[in-house]
Chain A
Amino acid sequence: MEQEEALSVAEEFVATRKVRERFPEWVLESTVFRGEHTLVGRREGIGPVLAFLRDDPELRFDFLADLTAVDHLPRQPRFLVVYHLKSLPHNHRLRVKVPVPEEDPEIETATGVWPGAEWLEREVYDLFGIRFRNHPDLRRILMPDEWEGHPLRKDFPMGKVAVNFDKTRGK
């Protein structure tokens, strides 16, 4: 019963409703937890959905608050790319989650929709190893350029690798 109620609350939210109407094939799931609305959708076709979320007059998610990823090892698909959107005109928020598989960790960039995604996507690429297609400048941002591995992956060995300064490796 409680679940049904939560489900109907999720469906009532204007963003969930409109995205479901417009992209019925894209939506995988919509949830609400502690008053926060989440849409889970497919990796394919994420670009038009994000542009729709930004441009639709009733939604107007013009502010990309955050873009990050979660590693759900050993669950498959392993990664989730998470967008936290905010609409300044309507003062509402939405979280969009997109599953990304381990064997092909790639997703379309959001920099075309929100230029502010540039560094956030670089960080996700750096720390999770998820590539963003058509990103203007996809380089590591926090770790050194010659670093191997992606530290926020759950299988990255924590504190078990000696890290010595090596003149021959640096630039």
Chain B
Amino acid sequence: MAHPAAPEIRTETMVLNMGPQHPSTHGVLRLVLELDGETIIRCVPHIGYLHTGFENTFEDKTFHQVIPITDRMDYLAPLSNNLAYCLAVEKLLGLEVPERAQYLRVILVELQRIASHLVWLGTHGLDLGAVTPFWHTFRERDMILDLFEGISGVRMMTSHIRIGGLALDILPGWADQLREFLRIFPKRVDDYEGLLTRNRIWVQRTQGIGVLSAADAIALGVSGPVLRASGVAHDLRKAEPYCGYERFDFEVPVGQNGDVYDRYRVRLAEMRQSHRIITQALEGLPEGDFKIRDWRYTLPTRQEIKTSMEALIFHFKFVSEGFSAPVGEVYRPIEGPKGEIGFYIVSDGGRKPWRCRVRPPSFVNLQALPKIAEGRLIADLVAMIGSIDIVLGEVDR
């Protein structure tokens, strides 16, 4: 008896839900994946699980009260968020910040960049099974958090950068603590590189994975290290300097292939550049005020309050009702650890922003995930998510 022709093998795609509680989705990211075997055909991110309406809350706060809320968006880089917000308000008010405050701001946000990249490196390694770097990176991050505690009293949600300058000047001994960190840090970056850069497993799991071309990156609005890893040398610290970044000598690391490995290389190189910037800023740190002396826009110092009646009145007015800003609108982006973060503030002349919109780098960068994931293996997906470096607090706001 002749066999009938072998029936055509029919396969169906499978829909798999990944997250929002999956440990490698870095928070509450949920991905709906359509799989053909192990290949991802479609990847649809679902976000919003952490949405708390920050932009709505901003509209109900005075300009000064907004600052602590900005900490909680990208909670791995609160100082960068503070700086982006304060620069926007200062631009709106037309304020000029003293030089010492600018130098200290640069030191703080560069430390923040290193801290953010350290968390990224540790968790990204963890996702791919490299457990050791995690312990190393968190050890150094702890030193940075100690520094933040030493300057502001708080380890994470510092709110230390304020409109017109800083909350407090550095205390005696803080610079030495920072010097100690600067002394050991380059060696520690060498250690991370020793663990990963030529590690065969690491290279095989990251090279050629999650490739994003320069043209796609620009079209999707991707910024920060992800954009630079694709070969676009765009860094707002160079292109549109703020806080006097033009004074410092540093390079913008750029990748070639735009894959997960290049993003790793770019971020590691950025940590070394941040180290260079901090060293220069600490050496050149000028004497002077750590904030403006216009008490309409900033809290008078303790000394002033105790000795001047006017300062006491300004203090009362500042705390009880805040200040009003001129009618207008500004957008002042900065180069945060994740990319271009900027606040678009619309003022109607009142004491609260009429509209305060944040341009969230994680949100925009995450949009590139379906682009780089579709057609690839599901096993590589965690590497791709990790390499974009998102913080869901900022994606969802």
Residues of A within 8 A of B (CB): 33-34, 36, 38, 62-66, 68, 70-71, 82, 84, 88, 91, 93, 95, 114-120, 123, 127, 140-144, 151-152, 158
Nearest-Cβ distance from residue B325 to partner chain A, whole angstroms? 12
Which residues 194-236 of B have a CB within 8 angstroms of A?
A: 218-222, 232, 234
From residue 356 to 394 of chain B, which have CB atoms closer than 8 A to chain A? 357, 359, 363-364, 366-367
> Inside 8 A of B220's CB, which chain A residues have their CB?
114-116
Would you give the shortest CB distance from A133 to chain B, in whole angstroms? Answer: 20
A117 to chain B minimum Cβ distance, whole angstroms, is 8
Cα-based distance from A38 to B328 in the complex (angstroms): 11
**A38, B330: Cα distance in complex, Å:** 10
- List 11 interface pairs A-B (beta carbons < 8 Å), by A numbering: A62-B218, A66-B357, A70-B346, A70-B354, A88-B218, A95-B331, A115-B219, A119-B364, A127-B55, A142-B396, A158-B56
Beta-carbon contacts under 8 Å, B338-366 to A: 340, 342, 344, 346, 354-355, 357, 359, 363-364, 366
B60 touches A (CB below 8 Å): yes
User: B23 contacts the other chain (Cβ, under 8 Å)?
Assistant: no
Chain B residue at minimum C-beta to C-beta distance from A35: B91
Chain B residues, Cβ within 8 Å of A152: 55-56
- Chain A, interface SS category: mixed
B94 close to A (CB within 8 Å): yes
Within 8 Å by CB of B367, from A71, A93, A118, lies A118
Digit string of B53-87 for contact with A (CB within 8 Å is 1, else 0)? 10110001000000000000000000000000000
A139 to chain B, nearest CB (A): 10
CB distance from A106 to the nearest CB of B (A): 21
Task: Select the residue from B60, B221, B342 with max chain A CB neighbours within 10 A.
Answer: B221
Do residues A33 and B328 form an inter-chain contact, with CB atoms below 8 A? Answer: yes
Q: How far, in angstroms, from A87 to B232 measured CA to CA in the complex? A: 13
Report which B residues bind A (CB closer than 8 A): 47-48, 51, 53, 55-56, 60, 91-92, 94, 218-222, 232, 234, 239-240, 328-331, 333, 340, 342, 344, 346, 354-355, 357, 359, 363-364, 366-367, 396-397
Residues of A within 8 A of B222 (CB): 116
Extra A-B contacts (16), CB below 8 Å, given A91-B240, A95-B331: A33-B328, A34-B91, A62-B219, A65-B340, A70-B346, A84-B359, A88-B218, A91-B239, A93-B331, A114-B220, A116-B219, A116-B221, A120-B364, A142-B396, A152-B55, A152-B56
Q: Which residues does chain B contribute within 8 Å of A141, judged by CB atoms? A: 47-48
Which residues of chain A have C-beta atoms less than 8 A from B344's C-beta? 66, 68, 82, 84
CA distance A152 to B358 in the complex (A): 13
CA distance A111 to B278 in the complex (A): 40
Q: CB distance A158 to B221 under 8 Å? A: no
Contact A63 B218 (CB under 8 A): yes
Q: Is the CB of B48 within 8 A of A65?
A: no
Which chain A positions have C-beta within 8 A of B48?
Answer: 140-144
Assembly CA distance A141 to B51 (angstroms):
10
Which of A33, A95, A143, A151 counts the most B-chain CB atoms under 10 A from its CB?
A: A33
- Which residues of B lie under 8 Å from residue A119 when comparing CB positions? 363-364, 366-367
Across the two chains, which residue of chain B brings its CB closest to A116? B221
Is A64 within 8 A of B221, CB to CB?
Answer: yes
CB distance from B90 to the nearest CB of A (A): 10
CB distance from A30 to the nearest CB of B (A): 14
Whether A71 and B355, one on each chain, are in contact in the complex, defined by CB atoms closer than 8 angstroms, is: yes
Which among A117, A120, A142 has the highest number of chain B CB atoms within 10 Å? A142
Nearest chain B CB to A3's CB is how many angstroms away?
A: 14
- Determine the distance from Cα of A142 to Cα of B392 in the docked complex, in whole angstroms: 12
Chain A residues with CB below 8 A from B357, complex form: 66, 68
Please, which residues of chain A bring their CB within 8 A of the CB of B328?
A: 33-34
Given contacts A63-B218, A116-B220, contact A88 B359 (CB under 8 A): no
Which residue from chain A places its CB closest to the CB of B240 in the assembled complex?
A: A91
- For A66, A91, A93, A143, the residue with the greatest tally of chain B CB atoms inside 10 Å of its CB is A66
| CB of A68 to closest CB in B, whole Å | 5
Question: In this complex, what residue of B is CB-closest to A118?
Answer: B367
Residues of B within 8 A of A115 (CB): 219-220
B-side contacts of A123, CB under 8 Å: 363
Given A34-B91, A88-B218, A151-B56: A142 in contact with B330 (beta carbons within 8 A):
no
In the assembled complex, the CB of A17 is this many whole angstroms from the nearest CB of chain B, namely: 21
